[in-house]
């Protein structure tokens, strides 16, 4: 069974009565439990060394038609970790990643694909500066909140 990342649900379970709408503590109604997949965006300065720095998270929840990502490059940490790296190049690659994720057509033909296809393209294995972790799964009622929580826990 996938792990639940719900912040507002006790013991990782939705308010159990029925799996209908679950009230949010902020007054926003969210949907019933939905499956999601996510991966961590990693900066890999030297692919042959397999060392990386987490820089973001991408999350896909098909039931809610949601594909989102958050990235933040800690330039000081990256410079200490890999002093030879071109920070502008890394920022450019992260911007391209975000453009594809958001469906910005100026990012090329991949950005024009549907949500599922874009997610799978983004998380496909690559041997480049920007790589993603294996895909993990979970259940949630609010993918935006889960994305924010995962980003906070894994990247900040």
Q: Which helix (H) or strand (E) holds 139?
A: strand 136-140
Residue 32: per-residue pLDDT: 85
d(CA 116, CA 20): 25
Ramachandran region, residue 50 (left: φ > 0; alpha: ψ -120 to 50; beta: rest): left
Q: Is 155:39 a contact under the CB 8 Å cutoff?
A: no
Q: What tens-digit pLDDT sequence spans the chain (156 residues)?
A: 343 444 333 333 333 323 344 555 554 445 689 999 999 999 999 999 999 999 999 999 999 999 999 999 999 999 999 999 999 999 999 999 999 999 999 999 999 999 999 999 999 999 999 999 999 999 999 999 999 999 999 999
pTM across the whole model: 0.81
Residue 19: per-residue pLDDT: 38
């Amino acid at each position: 069974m996938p792990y639940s990342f719900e912040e507002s649900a006790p013991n990782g379970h939705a308010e159990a009565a029925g799996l209908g709408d679950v009230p949010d503590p902020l007054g926003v109604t969210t949907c019933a439990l939905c499956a999601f997949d996510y991966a961590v965006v990693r900066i890999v300065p030297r692919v042959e060394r397999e060392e990386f720095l987490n820089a973001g998270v991408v999350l896909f929840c098909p039931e809610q038609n949601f594909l989102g990502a958050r990235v933040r490059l800690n330039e000081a940490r990256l410079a200490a970790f890999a002093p030879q790296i071109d920070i502008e190049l890394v920022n450019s690659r992260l911007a391209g990643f975000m453009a594809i994720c958001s469906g910005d057509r100026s990012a090329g033909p991949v950005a024009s694909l549907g949500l599922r296809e874009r997610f799978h393209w983004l998380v496909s294995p690559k041997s480049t500066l920007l790589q993603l972790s294996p895909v993990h799964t979970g259940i949630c009622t609010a993918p935006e909140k889960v994305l924010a929580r995962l980003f906070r826990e894994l990247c900040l």
